[in-house]
Structure 1
Amino acid sequence: MNRIVKVVQELKPPLLMVLVQVAYTGNTLIAKLAISDGMSISVYSAYRHILGAAFTFLLALIFERKNRPKLTWRVLVMTFFCGLFGGSLFQNLFFTAVAFVSATYANAIFNMIPVVTFILSFLFGYEKLNLQSAAGKAKVMGTIIGVSGSMVLSFLKGVEINIWKNIHMNVMHKKENSRIGASDGRQWIGVLSGIGCCFSFSVWLIIQAKLSKEYPSHHSSTSLMNLMAAIQATLFALCVEKNWNQWKLPSAIRVLAALYSAIAVTAFVNIVTSWCVRKRGPLYASVFNPLSLVLVAVAAALLLQEKLYLGSVIGAMLIVCGLYMVLWGKSKEMKPPTDLERELRTTEVVVMSANEKSDHVSSNVVNSKSNIVTKAHKGIFGNGDHEILKTIVERN
């Protein structure tokens, strides 16, 4: 029974991160439909974070009302920047790239996040670039292969593969948003927005790693992050969107986009991601992002009648291989120490009375009036935490 529980605990992070990518896939498709229906990007982001903040505050009151840690100014500052880089700024930049360039470019540049996150994690000390070990080589090669696969999936076409020959479920309306398909003269806005969203998301993962350690209540920290993002996104939308009719939700797809993104992404995804960052680190959470490209390619071919090519299949296989290599490397680094390693990490110091003569040390250790045995055990997380266990034995 204990072995089953252990296996379940080990499988929980990867399974939850796969569900996160499924939620991202649904959000990408629904948001694409809402934007093509004429919904403003800034208003969409504002609604998403307002509703998400309300939902996560409710979860925090239910699950963490009595065991919430003390809220400090440092935590508030970190939640502000988490809301900025992981919420309002990231969402506006990403969907601006979709609008002014293309969804293909936005998804492709989005998959540079594992590389940027790996570099930032190394610079901030969350990841070790140990190329002498197999685990270190696997993480580096897996990250490179995964990103290469996402690029192949996005840009290499090849032979068309029609996997849905007899199924026609095109839900994309012919009505196009005036923001989409902008002239070539404004494409540089989308290019810079795509690069900016990549760095924004990576910075959020790094800050989230610090926040998760100082404020481990994930529901409460996520609700604070969403509150900050809601304030930022609303102020930004009020400044850039002069048409008050954009705040209305006349169609069902706009209502669905606001509700789905608030519950599935702003609430579920952020809570799970913050938990996974605390358990496995920011790099581990970022390497799952290329999976969304695979899921979007299949779902778009079915629902939006987008074509699927051989390059997409090859890219998907590379992404899976890259993910497996990174996960294998992380699992090797997180392997619990053996009994022998625990013994080697244990240091015993015997302090004897100063009035004992040195030539009778061997016989007087047992009869000493005061023996202090100190054992220093390395912390379970390997971050320098120590437990000092002192046993004082007094003999008459």
Structure 2
Amino acid sequence: MGLFSWMESSLPFMGMVLAVTSLATNMIISKMAMSNGTSNFILSVYSNALATLILFPCGFLFHRSKRPPLTFSIICRIFLLASFGCLADIGSYAGIKNSSPTLGTELLNLVPGFTYILAIIFRMEGFSLKRSSDLSKSLGTIISICGASIVTLYKGPAIINKALTLNSSELLSSSQQNWVLGGILLAIAAFSTASWSIVQTSILKIYPAEMIIVAIYCLFVTTQSTIVALIAEKDLTAWKLQAEMGLFAVLYAGIVNITFRLYMMSWCLSRTGPLFVSLFNPLTIVISVVIGVIFLHEVLYFGSVVGAVILVIGFYAVIWGKAKESKMNKSTEVSNVESRSHEVPLLQDSV
């Protein structure tokens, strides 16, 4: 029973590791596809459309026996969720296009900080200056934002620069990259992702059918991103995936990054809350750097390393605060149970 209980409690952890691995890999694949001429707007439309086709039959089949009534209020909430998702999707693709997958994964460390701030605003997390756990989470959030600013505004010298000798690096490193613009877009995407977690958590509390929510969400994102693409892409030929890499990027994003990852995140959100889910984003740095530098010959800058270290320090400060808070809550629960157990015999004696 102990082994089963341990495995059950570790499922959200394993699920989030798989989710962030899918995200980091998608950033690399998407960057390669966009470097080969695939439009980031079209990539968002096609991948979400594919996810919708997969999730709708699966969702209603999976929840065919226990399906809560779908009200207009819930649909409106899902539409709001899709708006944040669409902004995060397009902002992330555009940010990576102007910078690199490594910068994209580094700025994901802003998600826990943004999530914590929003959770306080919407009273999903408590805050008190007298508690060391709350101070640690707050300082960690500020440190993370400082680290993100360094990563965005300061590149510095190249530490690993295989681009000088390898022609394939032109796919990922261009002299026309706009690092600051890419960083701003990725920061906006990080805030949208944090907002997505908060809204999704509130929806799951009143409509606990993860796959149906994600299916309707993908339908709304497809509609919204299509409108944006029609406005942004004046050239109709952009809608045709000319390169094999573009088709592969759509398939991977639609099946793995959206269908699998969003369902897994929603499942974990319903069991652990938004802050736990957001705390796994820094893992994408390791995965992206390994893939980008070793296999795809991406340039690694000194500013990225320094900023990433500061981001990780802020991240672990938030984790420490969250762990201390959890320990304090458990101690309070235990003391309450013990006090009640002492009170029962007294009541019995009086009877």
TM-score by length of 2: 0.81
Give the equivalent residue in structure 2 for 1:60: 59
Aligned with 1:298 (options 290, 298, 302): 290
Which structure would you say has the larger Rg?
1
The C-alpha deviation readout for 1:146-171, integer Å capped at 9, x for no partner, is 55566666747678369x9xxx9985
Structure 1 stretch displaced more, 258-267 or 57-66: 57-66
Q: Does the 8 A contact of 1:130 with 1:136 survive in 2?
A: yes
Residue aligned with 1:112, SS: helix
Match of 1:285 in 2: 277
Fraction of identical pairs, as percent: 31
Q: 1:115-264 residue pairs with structure 2 within 5 A?
A: 115-144=113-142, 155=154, 160=159, 172=169, 181=176, 193-264=185-256
**In the aligned structure 1, how far is the partner of 2:324 from the partner of 2:246?**
45
- How well do the aligned residues superpose, as a CA RMSD in angstroms? 3.6
Q: Distance in 1 between matches of 2:32 and 2:158?
A: 27
More strand by share: 1
The equivalent residue for 1:91 is 89
Deviation at 1:254, TM superposition (A): 0.6
Instruction: Indicate how the Cα distance of structure 1 residues 169 and 60 shifts in structure 2: closer, same or farther if over 3 A, else same.
Output: farther
Q: Indicate the larger mover: 202-211 or 4-13.
A: 4-13
- Identify the structure with the greater helix proportion: 2
Residue equivalent to 2:46 = 47
Q: Which runs of 5+ in 1 are unaligned?
A: 350-361, 367-396
TM superposition shift of 1:313: 5.8
User: Quick check: 1:266 aligned with 2:261?
Assistant: no
Contact 2:48–2:222 under 8 Å retained in 1 = yes
Counterpart CA distance in 1 for 2:99 and 2:75 is: 35
Deviation at 1:30, TM superposition (A): 0.5
- Aligned-residue offset at 1:24: 1.0
Give the match's secondary structure for 2:126.
coil
Larger relative contact order (CA 8 Å, sep ≥ 6): 2
Q: Distance in 1 between matches of 2:215 and 2:231?
A: 24
Greater Cα offset, 98-107 or 59-68: 98-107
Aligned residues: 341
Contact 1:153/1:315 (<8 A) preserved:
yes
TM-score (normalizing by structure 1): 0.73
CA shift in 2, pair 1:169/1:131, >3 Å? farther
- Tell me, in whole angstroms, the C-alpha distance in 2 between the residues paired with 1:328 and 1:59: 39
Partner of 1:160, secondary structure, is strand
Letter in 2 for 1:254: G
Q: Please state how far the C-alpha of 1:39 moved relative to its aligned partner.
A: 0.8
Q: Counterpart of 1:68 in 2: which secondary structure?
A: coil
Task: Look up the match of 2:336.
Answer: 341
The verdict on how the C-alpha distance between 1:148 and 1:22 changes in structure 2, with shifts beyond 3 A counting, is farther
Q: Which residue of 2 aligns with 1:70?
A: 69
Q: Conserved in 1, the CA contact under 8 Å of 2:32 and 2:172?
A: no
